Chain A
Amino acid sequence: MSDILVKIRDLHFSRGNRKIFDGLSMDIPRQGITAIMGPSGTGKTTLLKLMGGQLRPDSGSVEVDGLNVHQLSTKKLFELRKRMGMLFQSGALLTDLTVFENVAYPLREHTQLNDAMIRHLVLLKLNAVGLRGAAEMSPSELSGGMARRVALARAIALDPMMVMYDEPFTGQDPISMGVLVSLISELNSALNICSIVVSHDVPETMSIADHVHIISAGKVIESGSPASLENSESAWTHQFVHGDADGPVPFHYPAKPLLDDLYTGS
């Protein structure tokens, strides 16, 4: 069995006339936490959707566990997805079901387990994310952080080989963020799976990641361990990792000189 779980090669993808990926290649190991980072709008979420087969690339390949995602039949793609968990930015909980039923949903759909067994499994998953007590609540009663934890419990319901996290820390208060950071790290260690975290929250993501890919302008700019990227000599990586206001990505949007603008009078 290869140590590489996700292999992306020469990926090209466009939305209309806008090029999102322009020959992107990367490997994601079978175990550990891999972070994919980059500024907003660089296509991080799009990359996860390409890995999950929800979008088709213009060219290039995405292999997950040795299977070319975009050449699979719908049936085989769905079989593969049973081994992939995904945590959406919004949580994507089914609003007409309770927390318990949301977590039970994939088990009811894909297994023949009886109700007692499903109840045990759901309570264990909810306990892992600290929300066993919220089992009978509806999604509308949950805070943003709680909704993501329920979505996380649902994502691991079928014991997947990988979990993809789409911007898990966005819009979270410090306590919820801390809870999510430790949950991702602990679940990854406990389940010994591949976790792919897409984020632009640098300190939180770097604190738990084993490998980091930084993407921009449709390509991987730099890859390595968090420590190596902290000390990167690339001006771009330095600016992104340290959050400098000015650098290769300029503070000012391209414009003519200020004085010219002020004195032209139009």
Chain B
Amino acid sequence: MFNGRLDLLQHIGANTLQRFRRLGRGSLFLFDVVVGCASLISRPGLLIKQLYSVGVQTLLIIVVAGLFVGMVMALQSYYALVDFGAEDSVGVMVALSLLRELGPVITALLFAGRAGSALTAEIGLMKATEQLSGMEMMAVNPMKRIIAPRFLAGFLSMPLLATIFSAVGVMGAYVVAVEFLGLDSGAFWSQPQNKVDLYLDIYNGIIKSVVFGFVATWIAVFEGYDCVPTSEGLGQATTRTVVHSSLAILFLDFVLTALMFAK
């Protein structure tokens, strides 16, 4: 009985230490990556290539998801508001929801699932096939040539993708609300123009997406770099990227919302 409790305590202690060790490694890794980003000034081609791979290739899923989210929100808002005769507020409701919450959050979750997992798998596979070791032995720092461009590309892409998501979502809502449900086009647009605040709504949404992009890309590149270089280790790292990124995004969303919109 006593031994069992001792084992449990030892297990918890070892697990906690391992997590802190990993957090420490991740923080040192982040420092190296941020320092490595400076080298991209002389090699912009590396960043542009990754912006295409991480950002442009994620665009399709973002546009399609944004369109459907906007359309569904218009339908749901309309059915809820029409009973109170407030259906003209569909536009502002969709716009505020997308700009403040759904745009940054859903984009970040999709980004983690699509681009984040791809980054982890790519870097992990480079590690497993000794490409990173090979670069080190050629006196080339993989932090500068491989990790930093991917990190910066993810960081820069996220706010742009979130903005596109929100814009497309509003367009989807317009199509449903005005073209299908017959709302007045002027009412749909005028309320958002009056109610949406540049600083409180748009800037805060962009700040959220910047934070999410930073965290999701950091987790993705670190998991790839730190993975056990086997097929099983690579699979676990990819799963961890999606799970940890999603949880971190949702937790940070709560913290940021509490800070930004507290009265």
Q: Which residues of A contact B139 (CB under 8 A)?
A: 78-79, 81-82, 106, 109-110
Contact with A along B111-130 (1 / 0, CB 8 A): 00000000000000000011
Closest to B128 in A: A90
Contact with B along A128-161 (1 / 0, CB 8 A): 0000000000000000000000010010000000
CB distance A109 to B137 under 8 Å? no
Task: Identify which of residues 43-92 in chain A touch chain B, using a CB-to-CB cut-off of 8 Å.
Answer: 49, 52, 54, 74, 78-79, 81-82, 84-86, 88-90, 92
CB distance B130 to A88 under 8 Å? yes
Task: Identify which of residues 72-124 in chain A touch chain B, using a CB-to-CB cut-off of 8 Å.
Answer: 74, 78-79, 81-82, 84-86, 88-90, 92-95, 105-106, 109-110
Which of the listed residues B131, B134, B137, B139 has the most CB atoms from chain A within 10 Å of its own CB? Answer: B137
Contact with A along B52-95 (1 / 0, CB 8 A): 00000000000000000000000000000000000000000000
Q: Which residues of B contact A74 (CB under 8 A)?
A: 141
CB distance A95 to B129 under 8 Å? yes
CB distance A94 to B131 under 8 Å? yes
- Give Cα distance in the complex from A90 to B128, angstroms: 10
CB distance B137 to A54 under 8 Å? yes
Interface check B262, CB cutoff 8 A: no
Interface check B138, CB cutoff 8 A: yes
Interface check B48, CB cutoff 8 A: no
Closest to B134 in A: A92
- Give Cα distance in the complex from A79 to B140, angstroms: 10
CB distance B140 to A86 under 8 Å? no
Q: Which residues of B contact A94 (CB under 8 A)?
A: 131, 134-135
- Give Cα distance in the complex from A86 to B131, angstroms: 12
Assign chain B's interface to a size class: 10 to 19
Q: Which residues of A contact B129 (CB under 8 A)?
A: 90, 92, 95
Dominant SS at the A interface? mixed
Q: How far is the CB of B262 from chain A (nearest CB, A)?
A: 45
CB distance A90 to B137 under 8 Å? no
Q: How far is the CB of A113 from chain B (nearest CB, A)?
A: 16
Interface check B184, CB cutoff 8 A: no
Q: Which of A79, A81, A95 contacts B137 (CB 8 A)?
A: A81
Interface check B7, CB cutoff 8 A: no
- Give Cα distance in the complex from A89 to B137, angstroms: 14
Closest to A164 in B: B137
- Give Cα distance in the complex from A154 to B137, angstroms: 11
CB distance B134 to A109 under 8 Å? no
Q: How far is the CB of B133 from chain A (nearest CB, A)?
A: 6
CB distance A95 to B138 under 8 Å? no
Q: With A90-B129, A92-B130, A94-B131 as known contacts, state yes or no: A105 contacts B138, CB within 8 Å.
A: yes
CB distance B134 to A106 under 8 Å? no
Q: Which residues of A contact B131 (CB under 8 A)?
A: 92-95
CB distance A84 to B130 under 8 Å? no
- Give Cα distance in the complex from A180 to B220, angstroms: 39
Interface check B197, CB cutoff 8 A: no
Closest to B146 in A: A94
Q: Which residues of A contact B137 (CB under 8 A)?
A: 52, 54, 81, 84-86, 88
Q: How far is the CB of B140 from chain A (nearest CB, A)?
A: 5
Q: Which of A79, A82, A86, A110 contacts B134 (CB 8 A)?
A: A86
Closest to A94 in B: B131
CB distance B134 to A88 under 8 Å? yes
Closest to A85 in B: B137
Q: How far is the CB of B46 from chain A (nearest CB, A)?
A: 12
Q: How far is the CB of A135 from chain B (nearest CB, A)?
A: 19
Q: Which residues of A contact B134 (CB under 8 A)?
A: 86, 88, 92-94, 151
Q: Which residues of A contact B140 (CB under 8 A)?
A: 105-106, 109
- Give Cα distance in the complex from A92 to B141, angstroms: 15
Q: How far is the CB of B83 from chain A (nearest CB, A)?
A: 57
- Give Cα distance in the complex from A106 to B131, angstroms: 13
Q: Which residues of B contact A52 (CB under 8 A)?
A: 136-137
Closest to A74 in B: B141
Closest to A80 in B: B139
- Give Cα distance in the complex from A141 to B133, angstroms: 22
Closest to A166 in B: B130
Q: Which residues of B contact A151 (CB under 8 A)?
A: 134
Question: Apart from A81-B139, A90-B130, A109-B138, what are 4 other A-B pairs with CB-CB below 8 Å?
Answer: A54-B137, A81-B138, A84-B137, A88-B134
A-B pairs with the 5 shortest C-beta distances?
A92-B134, A92-B130, A81-B139, A78-B139, A86-B137
| Residues of chain B having any CB pair with chain A under 8 Å | 129-131, 133-141
| Residues of chain A having any CB pair with chain B under 8 Å | 49, 52, 54, 74, 78-79, 81-82, 84-86, 88-90, 92-95, 105-106, 109-110, 151, 154
What are 7 A-B contacts defined by CB distance under 8 Å?
A88-B130, A92-B131, A93-B131, A94-B131, A94-B134, A95-B131, A106-B140
